[in-house]
Amino acid sequence: MADLIMVSWYATVFRKDAFAADVARVAPIALRYGATQYQVHVDNDDRYKIRQMTWVPSKTEWYRYWEGPEMIEFRARNMGRYQVPIAYAWADEIAAGALGPEVPAPEPAPEPQQPAPQAAA
């Protein structure tokens, strides 16, 4: 399975919304460098914490993205909108699941027919 990289960005005060939007704009660029999936979440308990998750086949793709011109420019442009150091962690994905496209339910089997009661004569 793929490697998962989780970057924990911590926005500075009053800059969370703009910074979170910028993280959401830069995250899909990882797909150009070989990532297979990405997600960006804003923590509900700590509103200044933004988690960027990227799935890559190997560390090579991650470092090509992280050290690529887009991310270097992103970090420079947003300096002062996030706290340093930037912490990221590796995880091996060992299981995953999701609901797929809706599949129509099969037609129910017809109910067995009961013989109609006969009127007594």
More confident residue, 59 or 115: 59
DSSP label at residue 119: P
Q: Express each pLDDT in 51-108 by its tens digit.
A: 999 999 999 999 999 999 999 999 999 999 999 888 889 998 888 887 777 766 677 7
User: How many domains does the chain fold into?
Assistant: 1
Q: Is this structure's pTM higher than 0.85?
A: no
Q: Express each pLDDT in 84-96 by its tens digit.
A: 888 889 998 888 8
| Residue 109 lies inside a defined structural domain of this protein | no
Query: For residue 93, how many C-alpha atoms fall within 13 Å in the half-sphere facing its CB?
Result: 17
| Residue 71 lies inside a defined structural domain of this protein | yes
* Whole-number pLDDT of residue 115: 73
Q: In which domain, by residue range, is 82 found? A: 3-92
What tokens does 98 get? 């999701």
**What CATH number does residue 39 fall under?**
3.30.70.100
| Residue 70 lies inside a defined structural domain of this protein | yes
Q: Express each pLDDT in 27-39 by its tens digit.
A: 999 999 999 999 9
| Residue 64 lies inside a defined structural domain of this protein | yes
| Residue 72 lies inside a defined structural domain of this protein | yes
Give residue for tokens 């969370």: 16
* Whole-number pLDDT of residue 121: 60
Give the residue among 49, 43, 62, 54 at the shortest CA–CA distance from 19.
49
What tokens does 66 get? 């992280």
